[in-house]
Every structure is written in C-alpha cells, then in structure tokens.
Chain A
C-alpha cells in the first residue's frame, strides 16, 4: 500500500513534471521547460518564502509556547485537567472550521477582534486584517501559533516520564521553580522537542486550509504557500506540469528540513556520549 500511495505517485510526479498538460489534451513533452518556468514564477517564489516563514513560526513561536504551557501545567495547578481538555479542543476540531471561525474574527465589521479593539478604546487600530498584504500572512498564522494543544500534550507526556529521583536530587541541590525547569527538565525533554519540530514542520509543509479558506492566497498573492500553489496551478490554471514541479519542490524542502533536524538530533546524541 505504501508502494501504491507513495512510490507510484512519486514516479508519476517526476514523469509529468516534464510535460505540458492540462489534463484533457494529450501531454506535450517540454523537457525541463516546466522547471525553468516555475522557478522564474514570482508566485512560486512567494509560496516558497511563505512556507519557510510558516516553518519559522512553528519553530520559534508554536513550539516554545507549547513548551511553556506544558511546564506550567506540569506543576499541576488546580484544575489542570480542565486546562488540558480545553487547550486540546482546537486539535480535535477540523482546521476548516477553525480557519472559518478566524475568518469571521478578522472580519472588518462583524469581527470579534475589531470589536474588542473598539471596546477598549483602540478603535483607530481597526483593520481589514485579511485584506491588507502587510497583515494577512501574519493573521493566517495566528490560529496555528496559538493552538498548541498537541505540542503541549507531547511535552507533558515526556515530562511525566522523567524519573522523580532526578527532581528529588535537583531539589536537594537547590533547583526549584523556573531553575528546575530550565536546567533539569529542558535538557531532558529534548527528544520531545525534536518530535514536535518534526510534526509541526510537516504540518507547515502541508497546511492548506488556513490560506485557502481565509484569504485564498491573496491579497496580491501575499499569503500563498506551496500547498495552495499546487492546488491552484492544477484546479484553476490546469497546468498540471507546474503543479507537479510545485509538489516536487515541497518534497525537496521537506527532505532538507528533515535532514537538518536529523543532523541536529545526531549532534545532540553525540554530545551526550
């Protein structure tokens, strides 16, 4: 089954990449023409750049936020199970629903965000959040950056596997509170950091719903990403060959990122030895 669903498509992907094809008329061999055109396409460049920005958001905002919340909940404040339940809800709901919800939150007239700004006297900061290129990409990423449930839970699971003896020893040595988290727990949850990075970066490569539903790639293509590029070239422009090249670019980008992560992981293991 892996062969059917991953290898066959991959070979086919490489194959069609060399053709000019709209899905109806016979394919026309154009060699590396598609690659040259796609690489020169400004929209493609924006897509790659935005996908990389998504991944940076995952690395520097999403994962640290998840780690912070995991540390806080690991102190088992009253009702921590309620928090865990609530923080995890967005991971159960479809991205489609969340993307729509935020689309409405950002709405110029109806939106909750403009409403709250008005309420606290910052009415001048009202925005057409998703209609302005300057804020659109950032606004696309807010729900993703905020909903850290899964990341947090993975950290919490890892934290709970740390032996109590270690904390006992740390306490005797005087490491409590934040110092305990920073010097004792943090190095010990490194494997979970790697796991979370992998999962979230893979998600960023795949993410389609947020830009597709919230902005449709606009305004002025400022929120395009690779998934959306593949989809648009195929469904709207009927340029299957382009779409294939986009797909290949996604896979290559994925391989590079995974390579970097595996390299970091190996370095970390060597340090421990």
Chain B
C-alpha cells in the first residue's frame, strides 16, 4: 500500500486538517441557525453566549408580518415553469442534434458561446424587452428570463446525455417504421430521463437562488421572489436581526432539504459536462 496508509500519523493530520476546514465552513451556518431561534434582545447583548431561550418566536413573527408564503409560491411557480420551458426546448434541440444536419457543429459552437457570456451585461436589454411585452412586475416575466439564461447550461447537459445514445438504436427504430416523433417519445425520451432530471435539478436550484434579475423585474408583492424578499428584510428589519436570521433560514431550508436527499444527483448534475472522462 501507499505510504500514508502505513503511517497513521499522516492520516490523523489529514483528518485534523479537514475537520478544521469543515469547522471554518460550517460554523457560520451553525451560528445562523442557532441565532435564528434566539430573541433579538439577547442576541444584541451577548451574541455568542450559550443560548438560554430558544423558541420559534422569530419564525412566527416573520410569517405574521410578511407574506412569506406568497413569496414562496412566486418562487416555486417561477422556478418550476422556467425549468419546464427550458428543459422542453433543450430536449427538442438536443434531439435535433442527434441527426446530422448541415452546419450542425457550427450551430453547436454558437450555442456554446452562451455559456460564457456574462448575462448581467444584458440588464438593460432584458428590462426593456420584458417591459415592452408588458410582463414587467409579473412572475411570467422573470420566468422567461430565467428560462433564457439557463438554456445554454441545460442544453449542454441534455445534449451531452443524448449524444451518448448509440445512433444504431435510432436507425433500428427507423427501419421498424417509427416516425421521428415516435422515436423521440418512445425511445429517446425514456433513455435520457436521467440527463433531463439532472438538468432540471440544476435549473431549479439556479432559479431559486437568483437575485439580480428578480430584483430588476419585480416591484410589488405579486411577483417578488424569496431572494428579493430576503434582501428587503435587511432594510425593513435592520434593527431586528433575529427576524432577518429566521427569514434567511426559511429561504435556504428547501434547497438544503432537496440537497440532503439528492446529494449524488445534484453533485453529478453540477459537474456534468464539465469533465469528459
């Protein structure tokens, strides 16, 4: 075996180092969660003392004072619709790429450029486009922008997955008399479900966490997403940090839960296409 398994000392050192890094990374989150259960006055007096009064009071008052559920609903609608639209378009486009058509590689290269263009440069054009269509301050407007900015990435994941399907399957189905629609529905779609799911998870998390465009395109409660709401907590609750902490925990809870259940899928999805084996 290699050296470091013979000398357990280096193993111990390695573990110690990793635990240190772990503490540095996780400590802030632990502090956040504990603080969110403490009353504001206590938090101000002694921020790091062992907490004495833990209660859900902060959470209750956040829910009472703000339409958190509405923000949640908005975010879910935006994220789900954007994901559906984006993956639908990606699936159709990827399917087209399975057939050799003129200039296919050029089109693919062109689409890949989208991956590296910083979308925030398009703040004003998006704003004007969405306003002109009349979707300013609506969940729909945000949804379209999200679907658009996530498209290159989802296309890359799904296209990569479909590209690995052997072409002979398509030919065989073609010989058996399946139309190209049937091939897509009956053969290609079922095979590429894992790839599509990966892309969907990726887009949903992106949409959930996006702030810039949501902030830009929403104005009132009807279209406000959870991230924008969290941002406004800092201004409205500037003296009541305990409430702000509770709101932050509420906003990150869903993604953490999803992550806990789908760790491998998510890690796989976020690295998919980045590494060619």
B8 to chain A, nearest CB (A): 11
A200 to chain B, nearest CB (A): 12
The answer to whether A75 and B14 touch across the interface, beta carbons within 8 angstroms, is: yes
**Contacts A94-B255, A101-B28, A146-B24; A2 near B114 (Cβ below 8 A):** yes
Q: Is the interface of B mostly helix, strand, loop or mixed?
A: helix
Q: How large is the interface on B (under 10, 10 to 19, 20 to 34, 35 or more residues)?
A: 35 or more
Which listed segment binds B: A30-38, A42-50, A125-133, A201-209?
Answer: A201-209
Chain A residues lying within 8 Å of B277, measured Cβ to Cβ, are: 161
Bound form: Cα–Cα A227–B216 in Å: 13
Say if the beta carbon of B158 comes within 8 Å of chain A: no
Say if the beta carbon of B183 comes within 8 Å of chain A: no
Within 8 A of B (CB), among A179-200: 180, 191-192, 195, 198-199
The answer to whether A93 and B4 touch across the interface, beta carbons within 8 angstroms, is: no
Bound form: Cα–Cα A87–B17 in Å: 14
A254 to chain B, nearest CB (A): 5
Say if the beta carbon of B87 comes within 8 Å of chain A: no
Say if the beta carbon of B29 comes within 8 Å of chain A: yes
Bound form: Cα–Cα A176–B10 in Å: 13
Bound form: Cα–Cα A102–B120 in Å: 23
Within 8 A of B (CB), among A62-89: 69, 72-73, 75, 77-78, 83-89
Q: Is the interface of A mostly helix, strand, loop or mixed?
A: helix
The answer to whether A77 and B118 touch across the interface, beta carbons within 8 angstroms, is: no
Within 8 A of A (CB), among B98-130: 110-111, 113-129
Chain B residues lying within 8 Å of A85, measured Cβ to Cβ, are: 263
The answer to whether B117 and A8 touch across the interface, beta carbons within 8 angstroms, is: no
Which listed segment binds A: B64-72, B169-177, B265-273?
Answer: B265-273
The answer to whether B121 and A248 touch across the interface, beta carbons within 8 angstroms, is: yes
Bound form: Cα–Cα A2–B159 in Å: 15
Say if the beta carbon of A136 comes within 8 Å of chain B: no
The answer to whether B252 and A93 touch across the interface, beta carbons within 8 angstroms, is: yes
The answer to whether A251 and B248 touch across the interface, beta carbons within 8 angstroms, is: no
The answer to whether A2 and B122 touch across the interface, beta carbons within 8 angstroms, is: no
Bound form: Cα–Cα A2–B252 in Å: 31
Bound form: Cα–Cα A34–B267 in Å: 44
Chain A residues lying within 8 Å of B248, measured Cβ to Cβ, are: 97, 100-101
Say if the beta carbon of B208 comes within 8 Å of chain A: yes
Q: Which residues of B contact A (CB under 8 A)?
A: 2-4, 10-11, 14-15, 17-18, 21-22, 24-29, 31-32, 43-44, 47-48, 89, 110-111, 113-129, 145, 147-149, 151-152, 205, 208-212, 216, 227, 230-231, 234, 241, 244-245, 248, 251-252, 255-256, 258-259, 263, 266-267, 270-271, 274-277
Q: Which residues of A contact B (CB under 8 A)?
A: 1-2, 4-6, 8-10, 12-13, 16, 69, 72-73, 75, 77-78, 83-97, 100-105, 109-112, 115, 119, 146-147, 150, 153-154, 157-158, 161, 171, 176-177, 180, 191-192, 195, 198-199, 202, 205-206, 208-209, 212-213, 226-227, 230-231, 234-235, 240, 243-244, 246-248, 250-251, 254, 258
